[in-house]
Amino acid sequence: MLLQAKLLRVIQQKEFERVGGTELIKTDVRIISATNRDLKKAVENKEFREDLYYRLNSFPISIPPIRHRKSDILILSEHFVQKFSAKLQKNSKGFSKRALKLIYEYNWPGNVRELENTIERCLIITDKDIIDVEDLPAHLRTGENNTGVEYTGPLFSDETVIPFEKLKEESIRHALNITNGNIVEAAKNYSLVELQSTV
């Protein structure tokens, strides 16, 4: 709470003193802050200053976890493969279709950081240029036999209401299926990035 008071002073008065110093330093900065905690609840529980909360909350941006942004999983997976391939000096071509299906269907409770760490681990342990199911952690492989809900017949009817998230999932599955699991081609040909940005 003492640190919160000091931070509030910097934001309000635009001045601070260095640790151990006596000189008053003026500052004019833009602050971007992030948290995975519910700050409103923390304010109610007297764990976070209300005045600081409203100072920081002037322009909030809420980012849902990736389990609610399924198309981002594919884009981020491709990004991390490229990132760690360069770092580990490997020539990875991405994922097999079965491995990509498991990555796509997993809920990622650890969010983007878990996805990043998982892909780095896969690239470290694999000796092939394609990441396959056996390269994935055990808790991802257990989902291999899980099947999603399948819709048959006409896509829309008077009797069936299909959740929009399910329509997105099926579109992505179809794109990956006909491009043989190539994320880049699926995104180019089926505008997955555009689809994600319009939601």
Segments making up each domain of the chain, as ranges: 2-56, 66-198
Confidence (pLDDT) at 115: 95
145-150: average pLDDT: 44
CATH: 1.10.8.60, 3.40.50.1170, 3.40.50.300, 2.40.50.180. Which one for 66-198? 1.10.8.60
Provide the H-helix boundaries in the chain. Answer: 2-13, 39-44, 50-56, 70-88, 97-105, 111-125, 138-141, 164-178, 183-190, 192-198
Specify the range with the lowest mean pLDDT, choosing from 47-61, 128-142, 161-175. 161-175
Tell me: the pLDDT tens digits for 177-191? 777 777 767 766 555
pLDDT computed for residue 179 by the predictor? 75
SS3 call for 152: coil
pLDDT at 138 over 70: yes
Two structure tokens written together for 1: 């709470």
**Does the global pTM surpass 0.75?**
no
Distance CA 143, CA 147 (A): 9
Q: Provide φ and ψ at 52, rounded to 5°.
A: -70, -40
Residues 6 or more apart whose Cβ sits within 8 Å of residue 143: 102, 105, 106
| 70 neighbors 168 (Cβ within 8 angstroms) | yes
CA distance 27 to 10: 8
Q: What is the mean pLDDT of residues 122-129?
A: 91
pLDDT at 105 over 60: yes
